[in-house]
Every structure is written in C-alpha cells, then in structure tokens.
Amino acid sequence: MMEIKTLGVVGAGQMGSGIAQVASASGLSVVMSDVKDEFVERGFLAIEKSLGRMVKKEKISQEDQKAVLDRIQGTTSMDDMAKADFVVEAAIEQEALKLNIFRELDKKCNAGVILASNTSSISITKIAAVTKRSERVIGMHFMNPVPMMALVEVIRGLATSDETFEVTRDLAQKMGKTPVLA
C-alpha cells in the first residue's frame, strides 16, 4: 500500500484551504496551489484564522498552529504538484476547468499518484477519462466547513481500482475524517 507524505491541493478557496488545513494538522506536508498569488495568500489567511480560533478555544497550542502553517507550501505553479503523493482538486465547480486541471495533473504528477476531485456534481468517470490513469482517479468530497465536518464522501468512477479506494479511505481516516462510500 502506498504511503502518503505530501498532499497536493489544487485550489486555495474555502474548500481547498480547509482541506490543506486538516491534511497539515494530521502531519502531512501540503502543496496548496491556485492561479494567483493573492488567492494562495487568501487561503493561508483563512487557515491562520481558523487555527487562531482553535488556539483561542485551547484546542491546539500556538506551537501547533505554527507547525500546521509551516507544513503548507503555497504556489501558483502546477509543476509543484510533482512533489505530491496524492492530489485533491478543489477548484470551482466548472466542468471544463476541472477537466483541464486533471489533464495537466496527469502530465505533471508521477504515474502512481492518485488524483482526487472534491466535485459534488461532475462524474468521476468523465474526469478520469481525460487522464491516462483512470484507475487512479477518485472523488473525495469534503463537507463545508472542512475543519469542522467529519464526513468525506469517497466516490468511485467506473475504472477506479480497489487500491485507489483503499488508499483514499485510509487517507481520509488519517485526516480525522469519516469516509463514506457514495
């Protein structure tokens, strides 16, 4: 079974920054990307604010807050996704955009890397079809707000392998989430 050490997150908006936060809080290194520096910056600010609330409520220490932030690398270059062992796409719910992101991720990421989408409405089979790794494409739909909500829907495409499903389920659990097959 593959070990996930670095999680790539494409999209630094509300969902992407939340996913980056819980992944980093679980000990993973995170590469969080977006199309503009200001979006990446906004994602970091949202994470900092969310962690700040947890410090205030004494759920985590300031050292924990700093450690979580330090494990997240922000970028505007999709080339940086090559460092990831697993990538979650959390871009806006626009089919053409998501398909383009998956085409690009398929080229930039190592062959063994699983590509997941946080989509709630686009077919995983359709997304997988634009890659050369259909068996390694899966849906990983987090609930909003990500740091507070325990549920993650794991959605298989027609070609999604059992190993991809198991790795995704285990990753969700490592991140403190309750995976549910959708």
Active-site positions read: 141
Partnered with residue 152 across adjacent β-strands are 142, 179
In sign, the C-alpha dihedral spanning 80, 101, 133, 135 is positive
- From residue 17, alpha-carbon distances to 3, 161, 181, 182 in Å are 22, 28, 23, 23
Spatial CA neighbour of 156 closest among 122, 120, 181, 126: 181
- 27: alpha, beta or left, given left = phi > 0 and alpha = psi -120 to 50? left
